[in-house]
Structure 1
Amino acid sequence: MQTFLGPDFLLDTAAARHLYHDVAVGLPIVDYHNHLIPEQIANDKKWDTIGEVWLAGDHYKWRAMRWAGIPEEKCSGAATFREKFDAFASVVPKCFGNPLYHWTHLELQRYFGIDELLSPETADMIWEKANGMLAEDSHSARGLLRQFKVEFVGTTDAPCDDLAFHKQMAEDASLSDMVVAPSFRPDAAYKIDLPGFDGFIADLAKVVGYSVDSYAPLMKALIERLDHFVAHGCKATDHGIDVLRYAKPVDEASLDAIIAKRLSGEALSELEIAQFQTNMFVDLSKAYYERDLVMQLHIGAVRNCNHRLYKSLGPDVGGDSINDRPIAIELNGLMGEMDRDGHLPKTVLYHLNPSFNEVIVSTAGNFQDGEIAGKVQAGSGWWFNDQLDGMERQMTQLSQMGLFSHFIGMLTDSRSFLSFPRHEYFRRLVCQMVGRWVENGHVPNDTEMLDKLVRDVCYQNAANWFLPQK
């Protein structure tokens, strides 16, 4: 019987133990999609308490706490961080089977050297020890990233962001060991059906200095902002697609009429929304291709389902769920339009519903063109699926229907500077899977070949995309 989170956690074969301990464990991290706050890296933030660094904005923890009957005041509300920490400590022993149980204790072990299990009985000791270490330079924002050898951080930024903190970091010689790049996320521009569209149009017009109330100037403004991002080191774009739509592209006059109708307060039809979004994706994807940017499509969330929670706290607070709308026809139609003239950029497809893994992988296979190995990726298990079962299912389908060897691997998709043990979690699982293939005779026990496979999936493939000099 193995020790909980011991050295060989998940490594149940000799091959897995070799692959992890001799290959994967020391690899740097390319975290190409996350929601870390650039200001905190630029100013090398320090936190006063583990309660703050752990519980401020972490909706994974808030969901578990609510499920256990913790009042909102001690999740996202006005309670002190010590009160929130104590509440979380009371919930963790109830989290068996939930990845939070592993993540929480991996974070305590890796960042703070604490092997004790978090509970009400150990809360005082863990609070004091962790808080003492947070005062040290090793546990500042940059210190935490360096502990896990993070070489690339891809933040998520709105088109109108001035990127001042990215500029500050690019000019900071003390940050030369780490690339922190903005990622262009224009959700508000193409979600013409949502209430925020009007405000985005107004904000964008202020930033670029001219009206953007028709299609050509809107696209001109978005490309200007995209070039602003590229000038600040942007390597990737990101798109949250809650409802995936597709329609045959239409001419500019039709698009102008759709925008005018929307800005006048009239409701758009589903066809008009689909026409606008398809045209915009086609034009944006061509711009991404021309600038050698990676396009990420995050599909399939049902957002802000809890109306009371959304009204009191806003979005991204743990009130979202998995969608089950069909996507195969729309996704392949949209990808086909973006690829029609050979201008499809490097693309990562994610779906929040694991039942669509096969659709995502088979679609990715449709648009490989020999230009770049693994040009269209079936992205890693996302959000509700970045746990052992979800990640294994995604990688199993990728290996069976595509080429696992060209997979660009894991990302945190997190707002927390303590989330990087999730890469260890992923890497141990990769080594477990490959080790079992060896044990079962599914692949040859060729050390050189398997070492390269694990190194590529855990680090090198992503480094080739986002850090070409590597």
Structure 2
Amino acid sequence: MSNSIANNNTFITHDFLLENQYSQRLFHDYASQMPIIDYHCHLPPAEIARNRQFKNLTKIWNDGDHYKWRAMRTFGIDEKFITGNATDREKFLQWGKTVPYTLRNPLYHWTHLELKRYFNIDLLLNEDTANNIYDDATAKLQTPEYSCQSLINKMNVEVICTTEDPIDSLDNHVKLKNSHFNVKVSTAFRPDKAIVISSESYLDYIEKLSTVSKVSINSYKSLCDALLLRLDYFEENGCSLSDHGLSYVPFRAFTDAEIENIFQKRRNKKQLTLEEDEKFQTSILLFLCEQYHSRGWIQQFHLGALRNNNARMTQILGPDSGWDSIGDYSQARTLSSFLNALDRKDKLAKTILYNLNPSDNEVLATMIGNYNDGKVKGKMQFGSGWWFMDQKDGMTRQLNALSNMSLISCFIGMLTDSRSFLSFPRHEYFRRIVCNLFGQEMQRGELPKDFDLVGKIIQDISYNNAKEYFKF
């Protein structure tokens, strides 16, 4: 097999998504060579630490990718070929059969961009080409140039920030810190399981947290003590970010006595009311966020997912298997009250807010302006298009809302939020979209044809702002 599979109708061209000379110059001269700071993802640090070599293309590309799984189910592919016991080749051939019918879905762009950037494959993936593409890419994956660490280096990645639960040992992060791998791999503290008190598995989780922290958790105070010890441990191992995945940020007035009673009620396996649930979450979130501020950390809130909708299939396959969607939660009022409670004490840390429902774009784009205090450039961030919104239309809508309601020049840019080692071209995808947006307005005379000015802002959005903001 040759080094490249190609045809005469190359899809991912040099000027892909770049519609005029201004867009093209902005991308090629200013954005394309900037390093990547992937400040939020779900890559398994164990696989980076052991420098995993993937057996074949299905293992690295289809396994765990619920974006692809949802598309295949929609196209009528049997679950056997998605998460079932079919062979890896059979699974990939069914994915290849599906791909032509993902036209106008971001999967079509991502698929061919990743084939091109990692494997130098220009051929369109379909039922006829799938076998050859599988063989060519799988052969390359057997070489040292395609190990996990090599794939990361191939994309000019400078920093990766994974996401770990408070009970994680961080052993793999320690290994990476002491290794010769030249990419910084950090972590973010994700304590959702300690916060969502109504979860069926909450008491089991508290037992695990108690074991890891060596704190007997029999009260709300001892729960906070255990979390403090884990915060210390994460900080000792280089952590400076937190992350929360919530449907919405709750806010309810509470007393300390109420919170203790709620905690004991849950320990006794009694059902909580919505009001009790929200009071508890408010209390523990405020406690944690004040800790983040005191440590100089950055806090992230991913808001708006409606998870595990299909109870039958979630029971069979578990969470994160493709049964989530966009929720229509009310965000503005309680989020404002929560941020205000922290700001009143001058204990509001740098904050990144992400929404999953595009109807909340302007809500978050204006909310961040309420709590910028001039002490830090871009202290409050409206995060990039996330999950269902990290596609061309979703990113453009987020960029336009941010531009209209705040300062896009202070934006910290893109992240992958991915579990895949082949997802880093999404940064290129984002940069091409940003450059095209600015380039179109330059051509129309809505922005000055000043490449020193506009080019600098493009580089800031692509890399410089994140570099300054996170200080990894």
* TM over 0.5, shorter chain: yes
Q: Write the distance in 2 (CA, Å) between the matches of 1:424 and 1:31.
A: 12
Aligned to 2:65: 58
**How do 1:298-377 residues align onto structure 2 when only pairs under 5 Å count?**
298-377=302-381
Change in Cα spacing, 1:443 to 1:382, as seen in structure 2 (3 Å) is same
Q: Give the fraction of aligned pairs with identical amino acids, expressed as a percent.
A: 44
* Counterpart selection for 1:211 from 208, 216, 221: 216
The whole-number CA distance in structure 1 between the counterparts of 2:260 and 2:459 is: 49
- Counterpart of 1:6 in structure 2 is 13
Check the 8 A contact 1:215/1:252 in 2, yes or no. Answer: no
Is contact 1:44–1:141 with CA below 8 Å preserved after alignment?
yes
Aligned-pair CA distance for 1:167:
0.6
Post-superposition CA distance 1:397-452 (Å, at most 9, x none): 00000010011110101100000111110000000011112112222111111111
Other structure's SS at 1:182 match: strand
- Of 261, 264, 283, 1:260 maps to 264
Match for residue 123 of structure 2 among 100, 116, 125: 116
Q: Does 1:242 align with 2:247?
A: yes
Measure how far apart 1:296 and its partner are: 0.6
Deviations 1:37-75 (A, max 9, x none): 000000000001001101110000000000000111111
Distance in 2 of aligned mates of 1:416 and 1:123: 20
* Pairing partner for 1:405 from 400, 405, 409: 409
Q: Give the alignment's TM-score, normalised by structure 2.
A: 0.97
Q: Show the counterpart of 1:225.
A: 230
* 2:46 paired residue number: 39
Q: Secondary structure at the match of 1:156?
A: strand
Distance in 2 between the 1:73 and 1:463 partners? 44
Q: Secondary structure at the match of 2:163?
A: coil
TM-score (norm 1): 0.97
In 2: Cα distance, 1:411 partner to 1:171 partner: 25
How far the C-alpha of 1:264 sits from its partner, in A, is: 0.9
Task: Indicate whether 1:464 and 2:468 are aligned.
Answer: yes
Question: Are 1:194 and 2:208 matched, yes or no?
Answer: no
Amino acid at match of 2:142: A
One-letter identity of the residue aligned with 2:29: D
CA distance in 2, matches of 1:375, 1:179: 23
Q: Which consecutive aligned stretches of 4+ in structure 1 deviate over 4 angstroms post-superposition? A: none
Q: In the aligned structure 2, how far is the partner of 1:186 from the partner of 1:196?
A: 14
Q: Which residue of 2 aligns with 1:447?
A: 451
Distance 2:455 2:128 in 1: 43
Instruction: Give 1:181's aligned residue.
Output: 186
Between Structure 1 and Structure 2, how many residues are aligned? 464
Which of 43, 56, 59 does residue 49 from structure 1 map onto? Answer: 56
Of residues 93, 101, 105, the one that matches 1:98 is 105
SS of structure 1 residue aligned to 2:197:
coil
Distance 1:131 1:205 in 2: 44
Note if 1:16 corresponds to 2:23: yes
Which one of the candidate residues 51, 75, 78 is aligned to 1:68?
75
Decide which of 399, 403, 423 is 1:395's aligned counterpart: 399
Give the distance between the partners of 2:30 and 2:162, measured in 1 at CA.
28
Contact 2:364 2:382 in 1 (8 A): yes
RMSD: 1.1
Pairing of 1:423-438 with structure 2 (within 5 A): 423-438=427-442
> What is the distance in 2 between the residues matched to 1:424 and 1:332?
34
Q: 1:86-108 deviations in whole A, cap 9, x for unaligned?
A: 00000001010000001000011
Q: Is the 8 A contact 1:281 1:338 kept in 2?
A: no
